[in-house]
């Protein structure tokens, strides 16, 4: 257990000390700060229900004589509960948030390391790049790539290149830049002596020490003047240049890296001087050794990216906004490769992955499931005592941007309650690293724990691909719920920016006016698994048990994006060649070694479509649907036929349909005329024996 220090912020929050079971302070950060200092002497961990003065409390804890036994934790109850229009009804939510703050921290994850020595390349028009180079050259190892000419400094304090960027990729500490030297003058060899400027009859060369080819009449007097230096060549064969850098300051209006989340160490402020100054300040701090979490875990064994040279699922590759995930085929087997240095931790890859091969670990779904179960359990228990809202609503949001939105809304609702709607008493916010990292397993798991609905707060900074993915996944989740007779319980609240308080206020007003919903089912006791499919199967079984309407025998059709579903087969076209069996990455398709039977276990299918692409007869079609748990576990026969027996030894070696098809296609060929036709009816061994006999 932890000590809990709760403050009503100078009486501005109507907190119920008796209901919360803890004393309520009025000015913990001022006159009553002694209570905090006294609590530091205790042996229990300490939870302070105030984020406003977190810095002050942290400083006091650091100055204390006795070291803390456990990390000091803070939880915000003011903006999300105490300053809302329903503050007096928010006791269950406050109790749940306090309980969440007591939960153990997530297990640490591996880290990704970076090292930057301060080798900076400034790319852009010389008129902007060179002034910044002059300012930064004392602090960093600066180079400049001028994409537009400008007067060059006569003193060579740092390298200056010219040309057009052809390739720019990498990450902090390891950027690779390729460019083409298009001008006859190579500024790296040029001493800026000015001899070429003096002799040029067309004045085609100025203090940028680049030749204006529109003015140049090819007298080549400049070449003669520079002969001893060799900086000028009109016939230069090798124009390509490539250098590695630690940091990039890209001042072009059309930067090379256009992904929504650019790598660490890459800054592209454009031509706005203020934005340039702000990002240069950040750039100066990017020298040294750094680390970040390794957000993901990848299990190649269950990946459905590709088999037999065919690409199946590429959802993670398509949704990644940083270019961190790429396709990889070796020996016909497809997998994906993730560059952890480029990964920015959005988690969208895990959200859209149908097999669970890509897993988000910061934190894991297992840890989040434990926290959500605690939130729901405490809320429901306290609400029952007070005869309040039947079930809480979960508001998922990106930790940083979403918190800014929610806190801003809470403060506005407190000061201007007639203009802004704070969070209803039954809405519990839950911050995650990135809103795109959450998907079906967590949403449905939360509903099974007693939450009545899931609202996803988008704060405007998300890549469009992430929004599209969340919309697709929420449509699928709602289709699954509707199959069991429930109404839609997964919703998106899309703000335009972290300042778009009106959008969130309007959404909260709609929820308050509607009121709290009842839970779909009694709270489940199972925990969420690291394996996505395992979690989904457990939740589906639980929802089916408490469904309002039973699933029909034929199942319910789901959207095309579904990771659940079966296969439709054209038995007339299928020859039972079993190529689909060898291509299935999940073992959903099975053959029989003794007789020509194609079987299928729907529970194993992830709807990747590799089987349909592999089938030479195009006999298979994906059938996204939801069937009962019992049906999905069963091994069913998709197709079967009579075996064809070797006319020589009697051993079965194929299907009757396959041999008939082979005879029909090859029978007209001269090589199989006469007795040779009979060899097509033999197994491989007998065919060889027959050929040897005929030759001897």
How do residues 624-643 score in pLDDT, each as one tens digit? 999 999 999 999 999 988 77
Percent of the chain clearing pLDDT 90 (strictly above)? 81
Picking from 254, 271, 290, the residue at the C-terminal end of a domain is 290
pLDDT single digits (tens) 379-392: 999 999 998 878 99
Question: What is the model's pLDDT at position 398?
Answer: 97
Same domain, 191 and 272: yes
| 446 occurs within a structural domain | no
Cα distances (Å, whole numbers) of residue 379 to 347, 464, 610: 28, 34, 45
- Grade residue 687 by pLDDT with cuts at 50, 70 and 90: confident
665-678 in b/e burial notation, b at 16+ Cβ within 10 A?
Answer: eeeeeeebeeebee
Same domain, 151 and 247: yes
Long-range contacts of 163-167 (CB under 8 A, 24+ apart): 163/239, 163/241, 165/123, 165/256, 166/240, 167/256
Higher pLDDT, 592 or 469: 469
Mean pLDDT confidence for 652-669: 72
| 390 occurs within a structural domain | no
| 598 occurs within a structural domain | yes
Same domain, 15 and 59: yes
Tokens of 333: 């087997």
Question: What is the model's pLDDT at position 516?
Answer: 95
Question: What is the model's pLDDT at position 696?
Answer: 60
Give the range among 117-126, 205-214, 501-510, 670-679 with minimum mean pLDDT.
Answer: 670-679
- Grade residue 271 by pLDDT with cuts at 50, 70 and 90: confident
Question: What is the model's pLDDT at position 178?
Answer: 96
| 449 occurs within a structural domain | no
Mean pLDDT confidence for 423-430: 98
Same domain, 286 and 298: no
In the predicted structure, residue 313 carries a pLDDT above the cut 80: yes
Cα–Cα distance measured from residue 313 to residue 675, given in angstroms and rounded to the nearest whole number: 47
Q: How many domains does the chain have?
A: 5
Cα–Cα distance measured from residue 345 to residue 400, given in angstroms and rounded to the nearest whole number: 13
Mean pLDDT confidence for 21-29: 95
| 387 occurs within a structural domain | no
Whichever domain contains 145, its CATH number is: 3.50.50
Higher pLDDT, 687 or 375: 375
CB 147 within 8 A of CB 156: no
Bridge partner list, 394 = 428, 454
Query: Strand 556-557 relative to strand 620-626: parallel, antiparallel, unpaired?
Result: antiparallel
Cα–Cα distance measured from residue 215 to residue 222, given in angstroms and rounded to the nearest whole number: 13
Cis-peptide into 53, omega within 30 deg: no
468-506 in b/e burial notation, b at 16+ Cβ within 10 A?
Answer: ebbebbbbbbbbbbbbbebeebbeebbbeebebbebbbe
Question: What is the model's pLDDT at position 320?
Answer: 94
Question: What is the model's pLDDT at position 309?
Answer: 87
pLDDT single digits (tens) 544-597: 999 999 999 999 999 999 999 999 999 999 988 899 999 999 999 999 887 889
Picking from 290, 305, 336, the residue at the C-terminal end of a domain is 290
Cα–Cα distance measured from residue 176 to residue 676, given in angstroms and rounded to the nearest whole number: 62
Same domain, 172 and 300: no
432 phi, psi to nearest 5 deg? -130, 165
Same domain, 675 and 629: no
Q: Is 665 helix (H, G, I), strand (E, B) or coil?
A: helix
CB 556 within 8 A of CB 564: no
Cα–Cα distance measured from residue 194 to residue 495, given in angstroms and rounded to the nearest whole number: 58
Tokens of 414: 């407190």
297-323 in b/e burial notation, b at 16+ Cβ within 10 A?
Answer: bbeeebbbbbbbebbbbbbbbebbbbb
Tokens of 69: 């036994």
Whichever domain contains 298, its CATH number is: 3.30.70.20
Same domain, 66 and 198: no
Question: What is the model's pLDDT at position 671?
Answer: 61
In the predicted structure, residue 111 carries a pLDDT above the cut 80: yes
380 phi, psi to nearest 5 deg? -60, -40
Picking from 20, 44, 74, the residue at the C-terminal end of a domain is 74
pLDDT single digits (tens) 54-78: 999 999 998 887 777 777 999 999 9
- Grade residue 668 by pLDDT with cuts at 50, 70 and 90: low
Same domain, 303 and 330: yes
| 479 occurs within a structural domain | no
pLDDT single digits (tens) 33-43: 999 999 988 87
Mean pLDDT confidence for 477-498: 97
Cα–Cα distance measured from residue 312 to residue 476, given in angstroms and rounded to the nearest whole number: 20
In the predicted structure, residue 254 carries a pLDDT above the cut 90: no
- Grade residue 679 by pLDDT with cuts at 50, 70 and 90: confident
694 phi, psi to nearest 5 deg? -65, -35
Question: What is the model's pLDDT at position 645?
Answer: 78
| 200 occurs within a structural domain | yes
Same domain, 30 and 126: no
- Grade residue 685 by pLDDT with cuts at 50, 70 and 90: confident
- Grade residue 672 by pLDDT with cuts at 50, 70 and 90: low
Tokens of 271: 């031509």
Same domain, 679 and 628: no
CB 620 within 8 A of CB 584: no
513-543 in b/e burial notation, b at 16+ Cβ within 10 A?
Answer: eeebbebbbeebeeebbebbbebbbbbbbbb
Structural domain including 682 reads 656-695
| 608 occurs within a structural domain | yes
Same domain, 34 and 152: no
- Grade residue 689 by pLDDT with cuts at 50, 70 and 90: confident
Mean pLDDT confidence for 32-53: 91
CB 599 within 8 A of CB 636: yes
Cα–Cα distance measured from residue 121 to residue 159, given in angstroms and rounded to the nearest whole number: 10
In the predicted structure, residue 659 carries a pLDDT above the cut 90: no
Question: What is the model's pLDDT at position 670?
Answer: 63
Same domain, 207 and 240: yes
In the predicted structure, residue 205 carries a pLDDT above the cut 90: yes
Cα–Cα distance measured from residue 591 to residue 593, given in angstroms and rounded to the nearest whole number: 7
């Amino acid at each position: 257990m932890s000590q809990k220090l709760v403050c009503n912020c100078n009486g501005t929050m109507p907190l119920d000390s008796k209901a919360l079971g803890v004393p309520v302070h009025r000015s913990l950060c001022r006159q009553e700060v002694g209570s905090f200092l006294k609590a530091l002497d205790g042996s229990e961990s300490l939870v302070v229900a105030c984020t406003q003065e977190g810095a002050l409390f942290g400083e006091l804890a650091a100055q204390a004589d006795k070291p803390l036994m456990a990390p000091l934790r803070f939880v915000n109850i003011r903006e999300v509960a105490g300053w809302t229009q329903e503050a007096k009804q928010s006791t269950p939510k406050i109790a749940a948030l306090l309980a969440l703050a007591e939960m153990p921290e997530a297990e640490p994850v591996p880290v990704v390391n970076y090292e930057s020595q301060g080798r900076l390349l400034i790319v852009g028009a010389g008129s902007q790049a060179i002034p910044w180079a002059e300012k930064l050259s004392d602090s960093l190892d600066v180079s400049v790539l001028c994409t537009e000419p400008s007067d060059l400094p006569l003193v060579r304090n740092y390298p200056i290149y010219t040309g057009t960027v052809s390739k720019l990729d990498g990450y902090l500490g390891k950027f690779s830049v390729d460019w083409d030297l298009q001008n006859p003058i190579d500024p790296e060899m040029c001493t800026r002596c000015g001899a070429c400027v003096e002799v040029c009859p067309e004045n085609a060369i100025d203090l940028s020490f680049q030749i204006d080819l529109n003015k140049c009449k090819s007298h080549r007097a400049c070449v003669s003047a520079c002969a001893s230096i060799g900086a000028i060549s009109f016939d230069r064969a090798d124009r390509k240049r490539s250098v590695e850098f630690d940091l990039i300051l890209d001042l072009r209006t059309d930067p090379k890296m256009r992904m929504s989340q650019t790598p660490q160490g890459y800054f592209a402020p454009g031509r706005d001087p203020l934005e340039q100054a702000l990002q240069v300040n950040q750039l100066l701090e990017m020298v040294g050794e750094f680390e970040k979490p390794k957000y993901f875990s990848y299990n190649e064994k269950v990946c459905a990216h590709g088999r037999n040279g065919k690409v199946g699922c590429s959802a993670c590759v398509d949704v990644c906004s940083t270019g961190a995930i790429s396709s990889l085929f070796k020996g016909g087997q497809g997998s994906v490769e993730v560059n952890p240095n480029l990964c920015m931790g959005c988690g969208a890859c895990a959200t859209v992955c149908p097999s669970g091969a890509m897993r988000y670990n910061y934190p894991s779904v297992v840890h989040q499931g434990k926290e959500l179960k605690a939130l729901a359990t405490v809320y429901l228990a306290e609400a029952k005592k007070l005869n309040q809202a039947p079930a809480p609503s979960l508001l998922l949001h990106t930790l940083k941007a979403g918190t800014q939105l929610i806190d801003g809304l809470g403060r506005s609702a407190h000061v201007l309650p007639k203009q802004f709607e704070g969070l209803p008493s039954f809405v519990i916010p839950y911050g995650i690293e990135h809103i795109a990292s959450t998907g079906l397993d967590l949403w449905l798991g939360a509903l099974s724990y007693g939450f009545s609905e899931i609202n996803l707060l988008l704060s405007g900074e998300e890549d469009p691909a992430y929004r599209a993915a969340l919309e697709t996944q929420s449509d699928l989740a709602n289709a699954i719920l509707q199959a069991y007779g429930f109404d839609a319980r997964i919703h998106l609240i899309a703000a335009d920016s972290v300042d778009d308080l009106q959008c969130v206020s309007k959404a909260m007003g709609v929820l308050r006016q509607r009121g709290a919903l009842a839970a779909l089912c009694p709270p489940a006791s199972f925990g969420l698994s690291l394996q996505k499919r395992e979690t989904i199967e457990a939740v589906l079984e639980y929802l089916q048990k408490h469904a309002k309407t039973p699933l029909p025998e034929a199942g319910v059709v789901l959207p095309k994006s579904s990771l659940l579903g079966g296969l439709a087969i054209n038995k007339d076209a299928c020859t039972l060649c079993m190529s689909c069996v060898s291509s299935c990455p999940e073992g959903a398709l099975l053959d029989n070694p003794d007789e020509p039977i194609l079987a299928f276990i729907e529970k194993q299918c992830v709807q990747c479509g590799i089987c349909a692409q592999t089938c030479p007869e195009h006999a298979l079609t994906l059938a996204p649907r939801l069937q009962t748990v019992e049906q999905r576990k069963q091994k069913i026969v998709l197709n079967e036929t009579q075996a064809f027996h070797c006319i020589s030894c009697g051993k079965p070696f194929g299907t009757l349909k396959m041999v008939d098809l082979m005879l029909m296609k090859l029978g007209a060929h001269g090589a199989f005329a006469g007795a040779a036709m009979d060899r097509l009816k033999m197994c491989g061994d007998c065919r060889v024996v027959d050929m040897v006999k005929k030759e001897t």
